[in-house]
Amino acid sequence: MSEFSGKVAIITGSSSGIGEAIARRLSALGASVVINSASSVEAGEKLAAELGENAIYVQADISDKAAVENLIAATLARFGKLDILVNNAGWTTLVPHHDLDALTDEIFARTFAVNVTGTWMLTKAAMPHLKKSDDGNVITITSVAGVRPMGSSVAYSMTKAALNQMTLLLAKSCAPVRVNAVAPGLVATPWTKDWKEQHESIKGMAPLARSATPDDCVEAALGLLRTRYATGQIFVVDGGLTLVR
């Protein structure tokens, strides 16, 4: 028996990057996984097919309540239960913090709709099913931008702070489900592949002298899943950046 055999996990935003890495590792450790994305259907379907019969792909934009409900329903229809929810889906765009006019109402609203409202709606819908598990877990991928005034935009930083606080509140209120967060610094993913200046800046500042990788986030998430007396934790994975900035 593999470590997560019999467990069912939804990983949002898992057609690439951090979400894909978490889905691959949980699948390799025996879990049944639900791959999700809002738009990268071909990549999501390919990953699910690659992972085999214990993986499915469900398209859903988590900022759409009907899509959230369908994501939960499709999971239960295929696997009959839910043990782990990894909230990884998110949205951002680079906006200099000093340029308040560039942070348009549309960008602000979209950032909150996906990162906060969407994550909240899905977690709320999943919670009754997670409570039926013998070790229900929520892992939310947040950011160091939620604990320090940094990040791709002011709106993004605000949303990640909201998710960190949501983690604490749900951990306190929804036991025995364990609710934790992984808060990485800048991560080298397809989303940030063109952010050369930002990656170079992190390399020059962080004590560990590099950006995070998806695997760094995987290890943090697995550590929280394995530590059955841990809840309400914000696991900062930033190479020491917040020690110096």
Distances (CA, A) of 147 to 36, 65, 195: 27, 28, 21
Whether residue 182 contacts residue 221, with contact meaning beta carbons closer than 8 Å, is answered with yes
Q: Is 156 a residue of the active site?
A: yes
Contacts (Cβ under 8 Å, ≥6 apart) of 219: none
> Of 32, 85, 81, 87, which Cα lies nearest the Cα of 57?
32
The full DSSP string for 125-176 is HHHHHHTTSTT-EEEEE--GGGTSS-SS-HHHHHHHHHHHHHHHHHHHHSTT
- Active-site residue among 31, 156, 162, 186? 156
The number of helix segments (H) and strand segments (E) in the chain equals 9, 7
Residue with structure tokens 């390399």? 203
Hey, which residues are catalytic here?
156
